[in-house]
Amino acid sequence: MGLVRVDEVEINDPPKYDLEQKVRVKKMIRNDGTFPGKELGENLVKKGEEGYIVSIGTYLQAYYIYAVHFLERNVIVGCRAKELESAE
């Protein structure tokens, strides 16, 4: 049984992005097994696609997860801050 390495505890600081903020993904996002109805490894969002933050949650009491609504695909995908950049 291995341990998870936590580089930085993001939740010690406020979220980097705000609700309703327009963001762009910096890399292709694939299903890691947490997206229902899609195969493991299937592409969910392509690099450069833009969407809006619709909710902010946490994962492992260390990271913020931003639920991003990609309007063109009409899909909501959870992203880490390192996968996003502001599109405003």
Whether residue 8 lies inside any domain: the answer is no
Report the alpha-carbon distance of residue 80 to residue 22 in Å, rounded. Answer: 15
When divided into structural domains, the chain yields a total of 1
Q: What is the pTM of this model?
A: 0.86
Give the CATH number for residue 22: 2.30.30.50
Scan for tokens 């600081």, then name that residue. Answer: 13
Give me the pLDDT at residue 6, please.
55
Whether residue 77 lies inside any domain: the answer is yes
Per the structure, the complete domain to which residue 47 belongs is given by: 14-86
Whether residue 54 lies inside any domain: the answer is yes
Whether residue 39 lies inside any domain: the answer is yes
Q: What are the tens digits of pLDDT across the range 8-44?
A: 788 989 999 999 999 999 999 999 888 888 899 999 9
